[in-house]
Amino acid sequence: MARQSHDDPAGAESLVAAEAAVDEQEIEAALRPKRLGEFVGQQRVREQLSLVLDAAKLRNRPPDHLLLSGPPGLGKTTLAMIVAAELGMPLRVTSGPAIQHAGDLAALLSSLSEGEVLFLDEIHRMARPAEEMLYIAMEDFRVDVVVGKGAGATAIPLEIPPFTLVGATTRAGLLPGPLRDRFGFTAHMDFYSPAELEQVLRRSAGLLDVPLDRDGGAEIAGRSRGTPRIANRLLRRVRDYAQVRADGVVTADVAAAALTLYDVDEAGLDRLDRAVLDALVRRFGGGPVGLSTLAVAVGEETETVEEVAEPFLVRAGLLARTPRGRVATTAAWSHLGLVPPPGNGALGSGSSAAQPVLFDNSP
């Protein structure tokens, strides 16, 4: 653990940063909708889930296992909590990386009470042997505990009470078929439209007691990458700015000035996104360029570029993944105020990647 002392300003700073992070987590938890009726957007998922839960309550049986998939920050954890709250059942929370041995899972499953909701985040990162144990537990409410080793090993079946598994994943494609098939209901969460994000922001501003005017909400929503977690985070930064540099009211001008200060541009791109686009366009002539070369050019790990920056850039129509490498679209060139040289081969109009900011999912 880092040593802290008065002669160690860096240590003190990191302590302040750690405390701020805890505060941020507390605020994030406080902003979570607690019931389905408070959950904004994802109308289809909400309706389907509401039916599944009502039917289970009517039959007085735990509902089928539920799988929630979609990018980070769209409300999977929130929905899992809501499922437990709507059923009036306790919630147990764990994650794939925490289950590295079948024994970890056996201990967890055998300690569940009847009807309990088990939330397994990042389910695609669970160890293979645990996955096999989970298939049986989901289907037969039984775990086979293996005693002994080699030829003398025997499996002792252990009954477990019926429970509901809520699995969450950002990579549904990585889940093995047999596991996917054991979920009775799968919901794919999509990015939120600007109008839905404005609704999220209005709700959060009310809870945080932040005066947010209509245009202020629209300005933040437009820069929130279709993601409620980001919208809430930007709102907190804009609130700081409004209180310190303005009269406390979040207007469009205040929001724009604050977010420019925090390096979030009008399309929601942050410093890393822009560095990736900049390298792709200015250093590699728009590509195609391999992921690892691109990552080295921006001084980041390949995973960071692939999992943090790229999904948004692809979604916003600024970058395309092709078999030969990453390519900047014409929209990416114009986002940087540039025009692709003739014959450059940038993916352009006619391709779905031509328009930046594609988050408007509203019907």
Ligand X SMILES: Nc1ncnc2c1ncn2[C@@H]1O[C@H](COP(=O)(O)OP(=O)(O)OP(=O)(O)O)[C@@H](O)[C@H]1O
The verdict on 112 binding ligand X (CB under 6 A) reads no
Report the amino acid identity of residue 87.
L
| Catalytic residue flag (residue 170) | yes
Q: Which residue in the shown chain puts its C-beta closest to ligand X?
A: 75
| Catalytic residue flag (residue 315) | no
The verdict on 39 binding ligand X (CB under 6 A) reads yes
CA distance 356 to 207: 32
Contact criterion met (CB below 8 Å) for 326 and 347: no
Q: Which of 49, 52, 74, 276 binds ligand X (CB under 6 A)?
A: 74
The CA-atom distances, in angstroms, between 166 and each of 14, 67, 70, 83, 238 are: 35, 6, 14, 9, 34
The verdict on 190 binding ligand X (CB under 6 A) reads no
The DSSP code for 141 is S
Q: By C-beta, is 77 or 330 nearer to ligand X?
A: 77
The verdict on 167 binding ligand X (CB under 6 A) reads no
The verdict on 200 binding ligand X (CB under 6 A) reads yes
Q: By C-beta, is 122 or 340 nearer to ligand X?
A: 122
- Give Cβ neighbours of residue 317 (< 8 Å, ≥ 6 apart): 329, 331, 352, 353, 354, 355, 356, 357, 358
Q: Which of 62, 63, 73, 356 binds ligand X (CB under 6 A)?
A: 73
Q: By C-beta, is 72 or 325 nearer to ligand X?
A: 72
Catalytic option among 164, 223, 227, 229: 229
The verdict on 109 binding ligand X (CB under 6 A) reads no
The verdict on 125 binding ligand X (CB under 6 A) reads no
The verdict on 78 binding ligand X (CB under 6 A) reads yes
- Output the smallest distance, CB 126 to ligand X, in A: 15
The verdict on 115 binding ligand X (CB under 6 A) reads no
Catalytic option among 164, 169, 170, 329: 170
- Output the smallest distance, CB 189 to ligand X, in A: 7
Q: By C-beta, is 49 or 106 nearer to ligand X?
A: 49
| Catalytic residue flag (residue 44) | no
Q: Which of 115, 217, 228, 287 binds ligand X (CB under 6 A)?
A: 228
> Pick from 235, 196, 182: which is nearest to 46 by CA?
196
Contact criterion met (CB below 8 Å) for 254 and 238: yes
Q: By C-beta, is 70 or 340 nearer to ligand X?
A: 70
Angle between helices 9-31 and 194-208 (to 10 degrees): 110
CA distance 75 to 42: 10
Measured from the Cβ of residue 91, the count of other Cβ atoms closer than 10 Å reads 17
Q: Which of 65, 182, 223, 229 binds ligand X (CB under 6 A)?
A: 229
- Residue 32 annotated as binding site: yes
The verdict on 76 binding ligand X (CB under 6 A) reads yes
Q: By C-beta, is 273 or 329 nearer to ligand X?
A: 273
Q: Compute the chain's Rg from CA coordinates.
A: 24
The DSSP code for 258 is H
DSSP helix/strand/coil, 289? strand
- Residue 182 annotated as binding site: yes
- Give Cβ neighbours of residue 109 (< 8 Å, ≥ 6 apart): 118, 133, 137, 143, 160, 163
The DSSP line for 10-64 is HHHHHHHHHHHHHHHHHHHHHHS--SGGG--S-HHHHHHHHHHHHHHHHHTSPPP
Annotated binding site for ATP: 31-32, 73, 76-78, 139-141, 182, 192, 229
Positions touching ligand X (CB under 6 A) are 28, 31-33, 39-42, 72-78, 200, 228-229, 232
Annotated binding site for Mg(2+): 77
Annotated binding site for DNA: 321, 326
**Known catalytic residues?**
76-77, 121, 170, 229
